[in-house]
Amino acid sequence: MSDYKPAATPKRGWGMYLQAFFNADSVEVVNRGKSGASTRTFYETENLWPSVKAQLRPGDYLIIQFAHNDEKCKGEDVYVQNARLRAEGKDTLTDMRGTEPNTTYKTYLRKYVNEARERGVTPVLMGPVCRAYFKDGKINDEGRHVLGADKDYVRCMREVAEEMEAPFLNMTAMSCEMFEQRGQSYCMERYFNCGDKTHTGAEGGLAVAHMAYILLKDAPELAALHPFLSLPPIETMAAYVRRIEDAGKQAAFKASGMPFSLHLTPKRTVNMWGTKKGYLPAELEWPAGEIDEVANRYVEYELKAPDKKGMVIETITVPVQAKGGDGMNMHINYGFGEHFSGVTTIYENTALPKNKKITVSLDQPILVPAGQTWHLRILPWYDSNGKPQKDKYLYVGELLITGKRLN
């Protein structure tokens, strides 16, 4: 569902395209989906649910879609799994995203529904998109978020919807049917062309957004929304997609002002430990099973604009190095204020070369309004090949930014 910056990665979340199916004069789509988050970590991370909740207004609709990252412990809650591992004298997991579908997953879904309703908002539970896990032409159980006889995340979401009398839109079933109709080769070439079987590219993201349109349009509980929904002509849709691509890749920002150049050292780290070699998780090892950023594990830099004048950041440069292994991955995100709002991914590298220092250089025109604080976060994760990894470090150097102080 997440927003992605086209200059940073080929990934495109379906939430990037949903606005195209609404009358923009009447309905504004605000996509706050976050790559790498589970029901637990989205709820508990300061710049995610607390920030979203503060911005909700009566009359809004909240689409809630989780499961991919809730499955990190293969259908078990991470706290339950860690208690068992400790009792067995084994190392515990450091990735805290995993929830159990019948218990903690349901608990967090109920929290979102209740807290949305407290603000006069209509919550909508939407089944997660299938993964492209094909076997003999069909999406297998894991691809449909079923991790065992009693570990079905979609069924559990439906049960919460029925219990709380909330709309449930089964995007899982719809995406499963469409992917199987298209076939594995088509899906991998056209929809999941980002190097894995979970994240969609532009064509896949748009196809899933079209599914969301159909589900919203056909839901009788959402009749009040129906007059604002429309299916644009193909030409209009193609132009909409091009605008997203062009806007995301545009590097020019014509602003007048006094040029500046600043060197920034990390302001703080969260859930990371710094050594002479570099950074690693606070628990001193990289958890197994990570395929995306962990929103509450990062190295952060910050810049505050003067109270009376804004700033434009034009270039960002930072040296990085993966030490000890070739499974290091990273995102660079930025956001604003204490809630890290407006979070945007501006760089992704899922194949950092081992023991080779590289310099990340970005032309990223970013307006920092007067009095606002801009935060840049480097979020690493490690492709652990199924088991925790030790002695793997990410070196991050001094951040150089250039730009203009506005007149």
Residue 90 lies in a domain: yes
Q: State both tokens at 75.
A: 């259908």
Q: Is residue 305 part of a domain?
A: yes
Task: Indicate whether 47 belongs to any domain.
Answer: yes
Grouping H, G, I as helix, E, B as strand and the rest as coil, residue 167 is coil
DSSP, collapsed to helix, strand or coil, labels residue 104 as helix
Element (H, E) at 378: strand 373-382
∠13-177-3 over CA atoms, to 5°?
A: 5
Non-local CB neighbours of 83 within 8 Å, separated by 6+ positions:
none
CATH number, domain with residue 181:
3.40.50.1110
One domain, residues 243 and 303: no
Please tell me whether residues 348 and 391 are part of one structural domain. Answer: yes
- Judge if 356 and 336 occupy the same domain: yes
What does each of the 407 residues of the chain score in pLDDT, given as a tens digit? 998 888 778 899 999 999 999 998 999 999 999 888 999 999 998 778 998 999 999 999 999 999 999 998 999 999 999 999 899 998 787 778 999 999 999 999 999 999 999 999 999 999 999 999 999 999 999 999 999 989 999 999 999 999 999 999 999 999 999 999 999 999 999 999 888 899 999 999 999 999 999 999 999 999 999 999 999 999 999 999 998 888 766 555 566 789 999 999 999 999 999 999 999 998 888 987 787 888 889 999 999 999 988 999 999 999 999 999 889 999 999 999 887 877 888 899 988 999 999 999 988 788 999 999 999 999 999 987 778 889 999 999 999 999 999 97
Residue 7 lies in a domain: no
CATH value at residue 349:
2.60.120.260
Domain co-membership, 222 together with 352: no
Indicate the DSSP class of residue 332. Answer: E
Token pair 């997440």 is found at 2
Residues 73 and 138 in one domain: yes
Claim to verify: residue 199 and residue 290 sit in the same structural domain: no
Q: Find all residues with CB under 8 Å of 220, minimum gap 6, and list them.
A: none
In which domain, by residue range, is 192 found?
Answer: 14-249
Tokens of 233: 């002509």
Tell whether 4 is covered by a domain. no
- Main-chain dihedrals φ then ψ at residue 343, nearest 5 degrees: -60, 135
Q: Indicate the burial class of 298 (C-beta count within 10 angstroms; 0-12, 13-18, 19 or more).
A: buried
- Is 173 found in the same domain as 157? yes
Instruction: Tell me how many domains the chain contains.
Output: 2
- Considering the domain boundaries, does residue 44 fall inside one? yes
Domain boundary at 249, 268, 292, which?
A: 249
Domain boundary among 249, 268, 293: 249
User: Is 5 within a domain?
Assistant: no
Answer yes or no: is 43 within a domain. Answer: yes
**One domain, residues 60 and 148:** yes
Return the residue matching tokens 């606002």: 372
Q: Among 223, 249, 275, where does a domain finish?
A: 249
Is residue 171 domain-shared with residue 285, that is, in the same domain?
Answer: no
Same domain, 212 and 282: no
Kindly write down the DSSP assignment for every residue of 273-325, as one continuous string: EE-SS-EEETTSSBPTT--S--TT-EEEEEEE--SS--EEEEEEEEEEEEES-
- Cα→Cα distances 184→96, 139, 173, 243, 390, Å: 32, 9, 16, 29, 36
Q: Are residues 267 and 367 in the same domain?
A: yes
Tell whether 207 and 281 lie within a shared domain.
no
Q: How far apart are CA 255 and CA 248, in angstroms?
A: 18
